[in-house]
Structure 1
Amino acid sequence: MTGTPTTPAPLAAADALNARIGATRTEPAASPRLEALALAVTANQPVLLWGEPGIGKSAGLGQLAAGLGLPLETVIASVHEPSDFAGLPVVGDDPATTGVPMAPPDWAVRLARTGHGLLFFDELSSAPPAVQAALLRVVLERRVGSLALPDSVRIVAAANPPSSAADGWHLSPPLANRFVHLRWTHDPRTVARGMAGTWPECGVPVVDPARVPGAVARARGAVSGFLTARPGLVHHLPDDAESRGRAWPSPRTWEMALRLLAAAYATGAGREALAAALTGAVGEGAGIELLSYLEHLDLPDPDRVLADPDAVSLPERGDRQLAFLIAVVSAIQSDLTRERWEAGWAVLAKAVEAGVPDVAARAATDLAAMRAPDWPVPPGIDAFLDLLQRSGALTG
């Protein structure tokens, strides 16, 4: 006998009860933890959630995927073999001519076919070193076997501390350095309200297109200016294994911080969420120093500066002057016109008037390199002529 299977009456009533309990609602609520996760996903940076078992990491991801309208693909990293991420060899008719492609798993094929999605690697700290090594290329290059995942696929992972993970391992430094690390904790009041049927809503930050050029320029100026002032923080590999398996500063993670900061400027993200994201990228020490620097930086919108350079006042401190000038030059590079280029020289002239032409020398070199052959040399360039001619940045 065929047909739709029916549930026995006693279990049908039990299923109805369970369905009623599972029917909950959400409400807007301030949650820097959720906002930091949403910010990192918006910036398309791989995120790793650290937290004890059973505190809602997977549930938070499901809610975020629903809010973004993305399909969620969950992969339990600890139960897979390295070949599941590196791909299985498929021998064709003439491997000497065509080579041997590495076949991807079904979840990767589904994401590639859809063109977007949220890829969630759960139980990452329970994955042995060989599996972690195979995941390196997936996380950084978005390649699974011979298949390239679309750029719009977001990657999130979750891990338990090794002390509470089943057969837990410390993350290898190369894999850890590819993630924004966020601490995932529970709020007893939130859990209590959730048991009553209402959970916090995971707000999705929205990038304002009008803010994008200024956001990128401000972020470039801020991060470049900070690292110029604190070169020792560009790269620092921690000494102990546990710290190496978390967030630490490197050129790769500073690039992540740059993207997070630009996304925050473009979305108007909250300070607590931005702080969690930045320290999760470059580590606690470097992140706190960067946040302190940003607190007092207060860079103006570079496009407004270029629209009226005569109204600009140069910051007093040298590191902030440099960040300001880098932001202005970056804005010009993103939308290069003769008018904006000449306005840039008017801004750099402020540094000369303030008696600090050395601060503007790097920005002047970059600005001079953008000059079109038919653009005349503006008056404001005179103070930098010797420097630019020696560097070869100015000819004609």
Structure 2
Amino acid sequence: MEATVTVTPDQLPELLLHVAVVRPVFLWGAPGIGKSSLVRAFAESLGLECVTLLGTQLAPEDLIGVPQIIDDRSRFAPPEMIARPEPYCLFLDELNAAPAEVQKSFYSLILDRRIGAYELPAGSVVIGAGNRATDNALARPMASALVNRMVHMHLRADVDDWLKWAAHNGIHPWVVDYIVQRPDHLWSAPPKTEQPFSTPRGWHMLSDALHSYGDGVADEMLWVLSSGALTPAHASGFRAYVKTVRHAFDLEAVIKGDAGWPRDPGDRDLLYFLSEAFRARLLKELPASKEHASGGVKRFAMRAKTMLAELAEISVECAQLVISADDDGVPLLPSWFLVEVSRDLPRLAARR
């Protein structure tokens, strides 16, 4: 199912509070963005036990139960994990990854809140969740009859929400600070090949590993850990960021002129990281029109041109990275700045 309107993790609890208590909800989203954690937290906020059923690990009889003979009549007895006397939150995780026969077994439970003679206690909540087919995850088409039995919500990763959560959940400071600087690295689309990719869950796993090793973790081991949890480019960027922390070497020092771009071939990953951070800083600071630039911004733009000339001496590739266009060839930096760069860079390079 394609997302038309999305919600953030911060918006979801209120939506569930008003919708899930009266109608079943299905939560769509990419792997690793926190769907399961949010559902469990919502159930806890209502004082309900969260009972999780994984669609990929169920057979129809696991839901329907087995027949019993009572008073010369057969009756299906639903399993104990479902047939509970007190209200609870029934979380149907990976529902759309279940075989068609298993999905059919959920029809009456989702719409009528009953299986055979057993009915969910009043106050119970039913929430399903699953990945989209575009996520390269296990997902099967959901029959229209099942789709129409639930209210659908599409969850997206949100940097501000994640940072607020991270501040209260012991996420390693290196991870938090890196995401503050590179919010675009919190999540990446799942690759078509079998390799790690960046998600809030991946960053959480890396944080746990860093806490376990301590801040003295060797650079080589840091590379192993980050490469095992993140997209390769993000792992390289994070490794370079940790170098800046350990050596008190940051972009601000380069902008102020207190330090130069790293020239050591062994610090090439650091140079790429600082180049990307420089690009992000330009995108944030420079207005679309020079007329709206303050005196401070104009001075920063002048310094930026000098920095580009210095960077090009070390790596033309990194200098091009800073001013490159997007994937469609559309310039990202303001046109007035790019014009000044093309005009002034040869002169600045000759002066050097």
TM-score, scaled relative to structure 1: 0.39
TM-score, scaled relative to structure 2: 0.43
